[in-house]
A and B are shown apart, each in its own frame.
Chain A
Amino acid sequence: MTTPELVCPAGTPGALRTAVDAGADAVYCGFQNATNARNFPGLNFTVEELAQGVAYAHARGAKVLLAANTFPPAGQTDLWKRAVDDGVRLGVDAIIAADIGVMSYISRAYPDQRLHLSVQAGASSPEAIRFYCREFGVKRVVLPRILTVAEIAAVHAAIPCEIEAFVFGNIGMMAEGRCSLTNYVTGVSTNTDGVCSPACHVHYEEDAARNLTMRLGEFTLDRFSGGEQAGYPTICKGRYRAAGHEEPYYAFEEPRSLNLSALLPELVRAGVTALKIEGRQRSRAYVQSVVAAFRAAVDACAAGAKPELAGLLALTEGHRETPGAFGGKRWR
């Protein structure tokens, strides 16, 4: 088996070093502003920190991928161009982008810069991927989490670039780059501000019976009785009422995490070059555990052995996991 590249989250300089030390082949990170899709307080890199991060990773044989993967609002494209300029100057190994204007800038200003198509571009078909390859010289596509393994294999056969696929972590239910639910409720746009379900708009209320109500802005997303496991509240994992349902139900998805560790050999056979772990907002301890577990699993697969994966379940949201769309069409 070809050994796939393990691409790991680096939300902070500390997490970058942790991921590299735990065996990441590449880390991905962003600057401290709206140019990346995890624009949370306390996360991400200054230019100076990224310079140090690149030096640390390169000295240990790991790559650094810069996520500049949100959509610049009209009149504000300079911030994204500056992120690209800084990334190129610091020698990042690839820039991950989604906006056509940003990619147009990268391919014109830095034709030699390696460019990855972000999952935020929502390119799920060979035709769509070929468009970005032809126009901007994209070298790798991060596939939306909507395809089965068999469909990934078919895509692989029909495109001229590498495939990176998410294998572990939190998954939103909506196609990335095409979701305005947070903006509808909070006035903050996931696509242009880089924030989904921002913590400053999340409210928790506990009543006397220890029932926990979770709200985003003015809307209740879920309620848990005392002791029940509650995940982080996002609209797409909330419980709602609808005609024909006597009880509220998870209209989009239940709060659980993606875990494809059991499908690793199949993914690699399908032509996946790089395995991506979600979680730039997670702690160093989490990054250490997940990256180390996947390093061991990938190496075991490469050696033809059966990987030991039980420990990963403890790290999933609410200790519940799903293979998502990757497992088969019944998910849809």
Chain B
Amino acid sequence: MNRPAQSPALSLGPILFHWPAERKRDFYFRIADEAPVDTVYLGEVICSKRMPFFAPFLDEVIERLQRSGIQVRLSTLAEITIQRDQREVELACDRRDVIVEANDASALNRLAGRPHAIGPYLNVYNEDTLAFLAGKGAIHVTLPSEIPADAIAILGASARSLGVGLEVQVYGRAPLALSARCYHARAHGRVKDTCQFVCENDADGLDLETLDAKSFLTVNGIQVLSHTCLNLAHALEAMVAQGVTDFRISPHSQDMVAVARTFRSVLDREIDPDEASRRLQVIGLPVPFSNGFYRHVEGYRWAN
């Protein structure tokens, strides 16, 4: 990781799914040892009920990642419904050893006035919003998944002039929606309060197909994700030129070290995007790629 400071950075987003705590710990230990990533986002962003499981490992994982020279940021919950959610957001925001990534306005309320990051669940669609948030202490912004290339270019120029880091998700299922209802619990005839953590059965989410048996969406607790896997390998060079500073890989159950190495190789111009896509097809999530949002067409489409 001895690259020039201006080199585009690679980050690993928060694990969106409910993996067993020991598995998460081991996953991060391997990331610390082997993955060419500059930043790792920790923290549960989907469901506060999942949080107690990983809590005992959090400090150990932070320490191990930091010792490997990886910057750690802590992501907050994307949706606040009950008081326990709010308490968890407050606990995260009160930490001073890591930069906190705000995923809703309640975190923003706590973090305003000191350096913080803005996550993809907080709507930053335009340069006015970006400038306002920078004025409140945002040093880094990850854009929502549906922002198209022309808007990224404008936001990139804006971020540059504000001195704000700009991040775009380039790999993994795209977050599409949030609800108060847990669709995982519903799929099992339960509700959120009686879920018995059935989401733990689906390491990459629960697939929904249409009546015609066509793969469509993915359920992850209160979240809906794309069935397809975002792959913006072909857009990296353009986004770097437009002012995007960081590229996010969203974790799945496949070999994320290999996925990170693949994207690092494209950023370092060791392989071209076609070769990267061929590799990702083998090592990554076994579903079709998409880049439609970036191309400003239907999000599920893949077109290069």
Contact = CB atoms under 8 A, between A and B. Distances in A.
Interface of A: 71-77, 98-102, 104-105, 121-132, 134-135, 144, 146-147, 151, 154, 173-175, 177-181, 183-187, 189, 191-192, 213, 217-223, 235-236, 238-245, 248-249, 251-253, 325, 329-332
Q: Which of A184, A245, A252, A330 has the most CB of B within 10 A?
A: A184
Contacts of A220: 210-212, 214
Interface of B: 78-83, 85-86, 89-90, 104-110, 112, 121, 123-133, 136, 144-148, 150-152, 154-155, 158, 174-183, 185-188, 191-193, 206-214, 216-217, 219, 224, 226, 292-293, 296-300
B154 A325 contact: no
A187 B105 contact: no
Given A99-B125, A146-B180, 8 more contacts: A105-B128, A122-B105, A192-B125, A241-B208, A251-B219, A252-B179, A252-B183, A331-B181
B179 A175 contact: yes
Contacts of A189: 146
B178 A175 contact: yes
B207 A125 contact: no
B61 to A, nearest CB: 27
Nearest to A178: B178
Contacts of B193: 329-330, 332
Contacts of B183: 251-252
A77 B105 contact: no
B80 A222 contact: no
A325 B126 CA distance: 32
A220 B125 CA distance: 30
A75 B216 contact: no
Contacts of A186: 298
Contacts of A222: 211
Contacts of B151: 73-75
A174 B175 CA distance: 12
A185 B228 CA distance: 12
Nearest to A132: B105
Given A185-B300, A241-B208, A75 B181 contact: no
A244 B152 CA distance: 40
Contact of B146 (A127, A180, A223): A180
Contacts of B180: 144, 146-147, 175, 325, 331-332
Contact of B296 (A178, A187, A245): A187
A100 B136 CA distance: 12
Nearest to B78: A178
Contacts of B299: 180, 183-185, 187
B177 A178 contact: yes
Contacts of B152: 74
Contacts of B176: 179-181, 184
Given A99-B126, A100-B129, A241-B213, A125 B86 contact: yes
Contacts of B136: 135
A101 B146 contact: no
Given A239-B211, A243-B207, A252-B183, A72 B177 contact: no
Contacts of B121: 178
Contacts of B123: 71, 98-100, 177-178, 191
B125 A131 contact: no
Contacts of A125: 80-81, 85-86, 104, 106
Contact of A191 (B85, B106, B125): B125
27 contacts: A74-B126, A75-B154, A99-B123, A100-B129, A105-B128, A125-B85, A125-B104, A127-B89, A127-B107, A127-B110, A128-B105, A175-B177, A175-B178, A178-B123, A180-B146, A184-B174, A185-B300, A187-B297, A187-B298, A213-B211, A235-B217, A245-B187, A248-B211, A252-B181, A252-B186, A252-B224, A332-B193
A144 B124 CA distance: 19
A130 B105 CA distance: 9
B208 A240 contact: yes
A191 B121 CA distance: 13
A241 B191 contact: no
Contacts of A223: 211
B109 A127 contact: yes
B129 A99 contact: yes
Contacts of A180: 144-146, 174-177, 293, 299
B126 A76 contact: yes
Q: Which of B89, B127, B176 has the most CB of A within 10 A?
A: B176
B161 to A, nearest CB: 13
B258 to A, nearest CB: 27
A73 to B, nearest CB: 5
A332 B182 contact: yes
Contacts of B212: 220
Contact of B216 (A101, A175, A219, A245): A219
Contacts of A129: 105
A35 to B, nearest CB: 13
B105 A123 contact: yes
Contacts of A132: 105
A219 to B, nearest CB: 5
